[in-house]
A and B are shown apart, each in its own frame.
Chain A
Amino acid sequence: MTILKAENISKQYRLGVIGTGTLSHDLNRLWYKVRGKEDPYLKIGEVNNRSSKEKAEYVWALNDINFEVKQGEVLGIIGKNGAGKSTLLKILSRVTLPTTGVIKTKGRIASLLEVGTGFHPELTGRENVFLNGAILGMTKAEIAAKLDEIVEFSGCELYIDTPVKRYSSGMKVRLAFAVAAHLEPDILVVDEVLAVGDAEFQKKAIGKMQDISKEGGRTVLFVSHNMASVKSLCTRGIVLENGTTVFEGTADESVEFYLSRGKDQNKLALRQRTDRFGNGKLKLVQVSFFNQNNIEVDQVISGEFLKIRFTFEKYDNQIDYNRFFLGVTFKDDQETSSLSYLSDEMGSDFSNLSSRNFIDLVIPNIYLRGGVYNLRIQTGIGTRREDHFDTIEEAATLHILPGNLWLNGKLNRPGNYAILPGKYIV
């Protein structure tokens, strides 16, 4: 059963300083309306691209968004900053209206846009639970029935009758999330709440989210940058880009599509770079990353498949590829090596390279923690300095997102080093 349906949702925002000339624009609008014409400031078609300065004074944050959500479905909404996710959530949670279009719903929507809304510092934890719960749409009786559960979940029993202004920021967030997590709307809208609290509380929060969606059969709209949690929580996904829907499909497909969209534009520059070392008999011109479906990406999830393709241009026909050396080192932002693949110790056979111009490095599971890694790439005949063909520091940048590599539903922590398979046995 379709529980929520969005039809042709568009949202227009004004650029520049709001407040100057509003009266004259309003009068102009009124004048067009009186003559039965369309609003002159509603020109459809301007694309919301924040990086390039727009000539128009108004911009479409959302442009003709359509989707349906079925009962019990967990829909992931993904997109880069500025894609229109927050605007869509604001409309869904009735904070603002769409400029055109309509959202029809058969259930009550409650949103966790930001936890702790309406907390008053002078009130005690208990009073704030009631106030915050009521703001989120619960009745007093509902809150009273769940009070113990909420307090226990937050882990603030000791301080529940102390004014919230004496709380640490972490306690405030925990209490606020506890209230929000015990809401029972027909449709729950969640935005990045998983980013709050310490690791232990995050685990609790993710677990609660899973309970809500899986056991409760509740419909959830989930907005996140965290691809691993989208993959593990959502059943379906849509990808937003510059205010329009560019992809709709299963959660896995959507995440894949999203990751493949973010390819770095500065890849071309590798050919032109001069900060390289070597005799130039062979030149590295491109480094590209692929996921298990052979789709080019620039981000991968920790623990998943990764293929790196190195493309070369040859300037010497006499190279003995049996002695060819390729060294790939993953370095963190402190220039510390995290991981390396050195072809000589691996015993790689490069003899086919005489008829090809690329080498693939296949990594079945990329056991690196979530972070940004720069690749140092070294080529040559052997590893002696004078034998280097072409060596480049930071030849490419790879983003690794925290993932569920222990396959237990828990995200590994971010960091800039490797994780190796292993097991504790008692």
Chain B
Amino acid sequence: MSFEKNDAWLYEITSEKKAFDLNLKEVWRYRDLLILFVKRDITTLYKQTILGPLWFLIEPLFTSVIFTLVFNNLGNISTGGIPPFLFNLTGITLWNYFATCFTGTSDTFNKNANIFGKVYFPRVIMPMSVTISNLVKFGIQLLILISFYIYFVLSGANISPNYFIFLFPLLVVMMALTGLGLGMITSAMTTKYRDLKILVGFAVSLLMYISAVPYPIEVAREKLPAFAANIITYNPLSQILEGFRFMVLNTGSFSWGGALYALAFAIGIFFLGLIIFNRTEKSFIDTV
């Protein structure tokens, strides 16, 4: 047989680690599984609940109402002529996508220890499927945003999107990569140090406040001390959110530099996450 001559092994199972093992070939081989996981997540998410997918709507709406009351009515944050409710809803819609991707993937190993302990498939399929199925939820919430957008336009608000709206898919991909990357890093660490799981919950809610969700970056630069303003400006998530509001509401600032910075960050954190995740996947079952 031809095998015998070149003695080619298909693969080896060993504890020696390669520095850059992205394992993307295996992921491609298991693409059907990825699709099936996404399908499973979507079809089973709201089975046997009273409101079903309506939950998707309630969450951002309530948050926006509260934010409007607290930040705009109480806190007097200026949204630059944009109806504050719409301003908040815009930010929250995109932020929620990031947050669900991050929290949904950050517990991958612990949550799936049972199935991971029995069969091998590229583990990264799991967080990827979470990110993709969250896209469906995001899509539904986007529809809410669009309906309110139309409502506000009809009722005479001075808002209009600009040409940058064509970059919208790129923004979503950036959000997905950032959330997935951070989630994979966290999930790799939670296998050993469980307390990180507790951290994720409140880290996400704190992160929102320094990611320019309920206020424009401009206002932060005016009102906050320099170091806090810098944190917010150099937070790539604020750049993505600011960019989103800019293209949808034509408000705030947009800089190519900021966008490229956020893009570089997203790609960087994704590949870093992938490397760390792939290192952990091989033996996490012993420590989980």
Binding site for B on A (CB under 8 A): 1, 13-14, 18-19, 22-23, 26, 90-108, 111, 113-114, 117-118, 120, 122-123, 127, 130-131, 134-137, 139-140
> Is B11 among interface residues, defined by CB-CB distance under 8 A?
yes
Among A90, A91, A102, A107, which residue has its beta carbon within 8 angstroms of that of B10? A107
Of all chain B residues, which has the CB nearest A119?
A: B115
With known contacts A95-B117, A136-B119, A122–B47 Cβ distance under 8 A: yes
Among B1, B3, B121, which residue has its beta carbon within 8 angstroms of that of A135? B121
Say whether A102 contacts B40, CB under 8 Å: no
With known contacts A106-B10, A108-B10, A98–B15 Cβ distance under 8 A: yes
Other than the given A1-B1, A97-B15, 10 more pairs (CB < 8 A) read: A22-B192, A92-B13, A95-B116, A101-B14, A102-B16, A105-B10, A105-B11, A117-B118, A134-B32, A140-B35
> Is B160 among interface residues, defined by CB-CB distance under 8 A?
no
Say whether A114 contacts B121, CB under 8 Å: no
| Closest Cβ–Cβ distance, residue A163 to chain B (whole Å) | 9
With known contacts A100-B15, A103-B13, A134-B30, A90–B40 Cβ distance under 8 A: no
Say whether B44 contacts A120, CB under 8 Å: yes
**Contact partners of B222 in chain A: CB under 8 A:** none
> Is B142 among interface residues, defined by CB-CB distance under 8 A?
no
9 contacts between A and B (CB under 8 A): A95-B120, A97-B13, A122-B44, A123-B44, A127-B40, A130-B36, A134-B30, A135-B119, A136-B119
> Is B155 among interface residues, defined by CB-CB distance under 8 A?
no
> Is B283 among interface residues, defined by CB-CB distance under 8 A?
yes
> Is B285 among interface residues, defined by CB-CB distance under 8 A?
yes
Among A103, A113, A114, A122, which residue has its beta carbon within 8 angstroms of that of B14? A103
Among B12, B32, B286, which residue has its beta carbon within 8 angstroms of that of A103? B12
**Contact partners of B4 in chain A: CB under 8 A:** 1
Say whether B10 contacts A18, CB under 8 Å: no
**Contact partners of A118 in chain B: CB under 8 A:** 115, 119
**Contact partners of A122 in chain B: CB under 8 A:** 43-44, 47-48
Say whether A106 contacts B9, CB under 8 Å: yes
**Chain B 39-51 interface 0/1 with A at a Cβ cutoff of 8 Å (1 = within):** 1100110011000
In the complex the two chains form, what is the Cα distance from A198 to B285 in whole Å? 32
**Contact partners of A91 in chain B: CB under 8 A:** 13
By Cβ-Cβ distance, the 7 closest A-B pairs, closest first, are: A94-B120, A134-B33, A102-B14, A103-B13, A140-B32, A104-B9, A122-B44
| Closest Cβ–Cβ distance, residue A187 to chain B (whole Å) | 10
**Contact partners of B119 in chain A: CB under 8 A:** 93, 95, 111, 113, 117-118, 135-136
**Contact partners of B111 in chain A: CB under 8 A:** none
**Contact partners of B16 in chain A: CB under 8 A:** 102
Say whether A102 contacts B12, CB under 8 Å: yes
**Contact partners of B19 in chain A: CB under 8 A:** none
In the complex the two chains form, what is the Cα distance from A122 to B42 in whole Å? 11
**Contact partners of B114 in chain A: CB under 8 A:** 117
> Is B282 among interface residues, defined by CB-CB distance under 8 A?
yes
Of all chain B residues, which has the CB nearest A93?
A: B120
> Is B287 among interface residues, defined by CB-CB distance under 8 A?
yes
> Is B55 among interface residues, defined by CB-CB distance under 8 A?
no
Say whether A137 contacts B193, CB under 8 Å: no
| Closest Cβ–Cβ distance, residue B258 to chain A (whole Å) | 37
Say whether B15 contacts A99, CB under 8 Å: yes
Among A18, A19, A104, A135, which residue has its beta carbon within 8 angstroms of that of B12? A104
Among B10, B33, B40, which residue has its beta carbon within 8 angstroms of that of A123? B40
**Contact partners of B283 in chain A: CB under 8 A:** 96-97
Of all chain B residues, which has the CB nearest A91?
A: B13
Say whether A94 contacts B13, CB under 8 Å: yes
**Contact partners of B117 in chain A: CB under 8 A:** 90, 95
| Closest Cβ–Cβ distance, residue B91 to chain A (whole Å) | 34
Of all chain A residues, which has the CB nearest B14?
A: A102
> Is B74 among interface residues, defined by CB-CB distance under 8 A?
no
| Closest Cβ–Cβ distance, residue B129 to chain A (whole Å) | 11
**Chain B 197-219 interface 0/1 with A at a Cβ cutoff of 8 Å (1 = within):** 00000000000000000000000
| Closest Cβ–Cβ distance, residue A179 to chain B (whole Å) | 12
Among A19, A97, A111, A117, which residue has its beta carbon within 8 angstroms of that of B115? A117
In the complex the two chains form, what is the Cα distance from A131 to B42 in whole Å? 14
In the complex the two chains form, what is the Cα distance from A111 to B48 in whole Å? 34
Say whether B10 contacts A137, CB under 8 Å: no
**Contact partners of B10 in chain A: CB under 8 A:** 105-108
